[in-house]
Chains A and B, each alone.
Chain A
């Protein structure tokens, strides 16, 4: 999966999980701009875990503040799973 494909899937998950207007969400969007609070954050993590069949560790939550943070984190998790 290319980085662009991954980012698109992340955006789709965000839009669906938070019932966002798709036009508002880009690869550069931050949680702050999208009005996403900490409870929204765990709801998004839940949706991402289902989408990518991964487990996102609790410690990573504070670091996830934007679409690009999420895409990078998921890339890392997928790569470490593939190399395992």
Chain B
């Protein structure tokens, strides 16, 4: 069984806003949400700029007792799932729940809870730790809470592949719906990286920019960490049409590869292989792609490598193929990155507007792409790729189609 797969629900919380409407406005306005960090005192940090979900208020979503059990990465995911499920207008308790899959990605799960526990134990000499530490930290907390909240009894699991986590999750969910293993999927990713221990570890990697994120730009200095969650609801296109659902777009293909090269340095061959695999899976010729939401971290290493990979896969078409990295707006949300960018890509295809790469200072000859910079560009693409390439050389690329595209 092979079915076309529609995206019928979207939910998002990130630095750009608390919901799809707010995020869409900031994305299309090209308004970056990178600011001095507030969740952690900057005194001990080398890199103090961050893309925090500042307007997210857990009290709007959870009562005080529920919050005891939820690390911020789970809070963000549940809030995004709630919006996405409401958007799709689905009810799971009448039978669909048993045929629904939940697959969520995260890179470091309840890292903030771990950091707090370590401080209690090693700095405060606490004799015992909070007994909710384990359920707060586990990677599958978002999937489990969504399942319990909505009565979803089908297969649920979590994926952790660093910065590719959300794309790997979305890809698995897409294949399950396409091949009839599930009649609905709730998928995406979440990340809440702002705690002292984790930020010190990122400082030590020397890949975080002191100023801002400038993907593919000259004088770029690195990535800016972001937090957030994005959730998509997937259904067979025919079923979605039959119930009169709003179709935001389609997922058309998914491709993965592994660099087998280096634990942190990316490889153009691995990135190109994942893009080719996604195109093949989607049955799309390279010329059909009208937009790429790049991995585009803004690090010296990623951007030239990704540029070479795009040139390799698309050949002369690369000159006309608009590319942007929305990480310049919402930061690098690690295990949520693919989910935020999937939603940016779906909105770009649905509304015919390509969100820009912000903070661009001018061309880098090693990143010779058709970049959308500064302002969003009106352009109705029929199909698009969303790239995620992880530390560890694990690549995941999702291919999308505009709603109504053949």
CB distance from B8 to the nearest CB of A (A): 34
Asked if A42 and B65 sit within 8 Å, CB to CB, the answer is no
Asked if B128 and A50 sit within 8 Å, CB to CB, the answer is yes
Compute how far the CA of A42 lies from the CA of B131 in the bound complex, rounded to whole angstroms: 7
Pick the contact of A19 from B63, B131, B132, B135 — CB < 8 Å? B63
Say yes or no for A43: interface residue by CB 8 A criterion. yes
Q: Which 7 A-B pairs have the closest CB atoms?
A: A19-B64, A19-B65, A42-B131, A46-B131, A43-B131, A43-B132, A18-B65
Asked if A46 and B63 sit within 8 Å, CB to CB, the answer is no
Say yes or no for B260: interface residue by CB 8 A criterion. no
Pick the contact of B128 from A18, A19, A46 — CB < 8 Å? A46
Compute how far the CA of A39 lies from the CA of B68 in the bound complex, rounded to whole angstroms: 12
Asked if B64 and A43 sit within 8 Å, CB to CB, the answer is no
Say yes or no for A51: interface residue by CB 8 A criterion. no
CB distance from A61 to the nearest CB of B (A): 11
Q: B-facing mask of A1-23, CB < 8 A → 1, else 0?
A: 00000000000000000111000
21 pairs, CB–CB < 8 Å, chain A vs chain B: A18-B65, A18-B68, A19-B63, A19-B64, A19-B65, A19-B67, A19-B68, A20-B65, A39-B132, A42-B131, A43-B68, A43-B130, A43-B131, A43-B132, A45-B131, A46-B128, A46-B130, A46-B131, A49-B127, A49-B128, A50-B128
> Which residues in B have their C-beta under 8 angstroms from that of A20?
65
> Which residues in B have their C-beta under 8 angstroms from that of A49?
127-128
Q: How many residues of A contact B (CB 8 A)?
A: 10
Compute how far the CA of A46 lies from the CA of B128 in the bound complex, rounded to whole angstroms: 8
> Which residues in A have their C-beta under 8 angstroms from that of B131?
39, 42-43, 45-46
Q: A-facing mask of B47-64, CB < 8 A → 1, else 0?
A: 000000000000000011
Q: A-facing mask of B108-138, CB < 8 A → 1, else 0?
A: 0000000000000000000110111001000
Compute how far the CA of A83 lies from the CA of B337 in the bound complex, rounded to whole angstroms: 59
Compute how far the CA of A50 lies from the CA of B130 in the bound complex, rounded to whole angstroms: 10
> Which residues in B have their C-beta under 8 angstroms from that of A39?
131-132, 135
CB distance from B226 to the nearest CB of A (A): 30
CB distance from B59 to the nearest CB of A (A): 12
Compute how far the CA of A42 lies from the CA of B135 in the bound complex, rounded to whole angstroms: 13
Which of A18, A42, A46 has the most chain B CB atoms inside 10 A of its CB? A46
> Which residues in A have their C-beta under 8 angstroms from that of B130?
43, 46
Task: Write the chain A residue with the least CB distance to B64.
Answer: A19
Q: B-facing mask of A32-62, CB < 8 A → 1, else 0?
A: 0000000100110110011000000000000
CB distance from A66 to the nearest CB of B (A): 19
> Which residues in A have their C-beta under 8 angstroms from that of B67?
19
Task: Write the chain A residue with the least CB distance to B126.
Answer: A50
Compute how far the CA of A84 lies from the CA of B21 in the bound complex, rounded to whole angstroms: 65
Task: Write the chain B residue with the least CB distance to A50.
Answer: B128
